[in-house]
Amino acid sequence: FLSLVAEFCCGFFVILILGNFWFLAVLYLLWLYLDWKTPCTGGRRSQWVRSWTVWKYFREYFPIQLIKTSDLDPNHNYLFGFHPHGVLVAGAFGNFCTSSSFSSLFPGITPYLHIMPIWFGCPFFREYIMSAGMVSASKESVSYVLNNKEGGHASVIVIGGAEESLNARPGSLTLNILKRKGFIKMALKHGAHLVPVFSFGENELFKQVANPKGSWLRNIQEKLQKIMGFALPLFHARGIFQYSFGLIPYRQPINTVVGSPIPVKQNLNPTTEEIEQLHALYLQKLRKLFEEHKGTYGIPEHKSLIFE
């Protein structure tokens, strides 16, 4: 959905340049230059945009539900690790970028969903995603959110990133996380409490063309991902009036479970050993969260998370 909106915005910008409204394009480029750092300094959210009725229908389509397992003290800042990426990242968007039940479940906490910086270079589209509460996934941006002295900020990071979307298919429980430790270092530097989040049903929304590791398709996808910064999974689901083929996601429940916070003491210069220890603890808590709730959301008892 975001890609379609981005393409529309870019197309509209090209029309301005080629048409008789080129001066508007020039004015916008000037605005873009002056406003370039905003995605790294908390963005510019709009409660009006986050409350659009379309998002209510979006959440009800699957439906999307947010499940709380523990209170979060608004005097602290938090770093939410969101899993898995899936194809659409519907749970992250529906719960943290719209007027969902988040504010009532976690009063005093403001979530910021961090996405790839490349999206903020798209004319007009950048204004929309910032108004929804999205900010850049750069270190500068994460530091800005977590550096709030009064607390009450939550950085939401999809840990597996674009690479993990290549594993997104029904039944997949593989997470790209073993080598991803930058978020651990950021949590330590800012003393932000870590919160594992697992979104059950995220991988059930689309089917993906077979791309096992080592296959020619997977190799091409991985090379393109390194060049462009985002992955290109070949996925399909249902159509508007039929269920056999299309690009509309299947209507599968998405239950996003927010785990208990892992207290983190601020350490401006954490050692490799300290990062490794906290990373191991995070993996332990994430696995425990999954195991405690998998039965409730239809995961067979013999199935477990696979960390890569």
- 3-class secondary-structure state, position 57: helix
Q: What percent of the chain has pLDDT over 90?
A: 72
Contacts of residue 291, defined as CB under 8 A and 6 or more positions apart, other chains included, come to 304
Q: Where are the domains of the chain?
A: 39-307
Q: Please report the pLDDT score of residue 177 as a whole number.
A: 97
More confident call, 287 vs 27 = 287
The architecture (CATH level 2) of 39-307 comes to 3-Layer(aba) Sandwich (3.40)
User: What tens digit of pLDDT does each residue of 281-307 get?
Assistant: 999 999 999 999 999 999 999 999 999
Q: Please report the pLDDT score of residue 229 as a whole number.
A: 72
Q: Are 44 and 141 in contact (CB under 8 A)?
A: no
Peptide bond into 84 cis (omega under 30): yes
Gap between the Cα atoms of 46 and 49, Å rounded = 5
Q: Are 120 and 129 in contact (CB under 8 A)?
A: yes
User: What tens digit of pLDDT does each residue of 158-173 get?
Assistant: 999 888 999 999 999 9
pLDDT band at residue 234, thresholds of 50, 70 and 90? confident
- 3-class secondary-structure state, position 122: coil
Taking residue 58's Cβ as centre, other Cβ atoms within 10 Å add up to 17
Mean pLDDT of 240-258: 90
pLDDT mean across residues, the chain? 91
Provide the pairing of β-strand 235-236 with 134-136.
unpaired
More confident call, 36 vs 17 = 36
Q: Are 97 and 134 in contact (CB under 8 A)?
A: yes
Contacts of residue 23, defined as CB under 8 A and 6 or more positions apart, other chains included, come to none
Peptide bond into 196 cis (omega under 30): no
Question: Whole-model pTM?
Answer: 0.91
User: What tens digit of pLDDT does each residue of 178-191 get?
Assistant: 999 999 999 999 99
Nearest to 147 by CA among 277, 50, 281, 268: 268
Mean pLDDT of 206-225: 89
Q: Is pLDDT at 245 greater than 70 in this prediction?
A: yes
Q: Please report the pLDDT score of residue 118 as a whole number.
A: 86
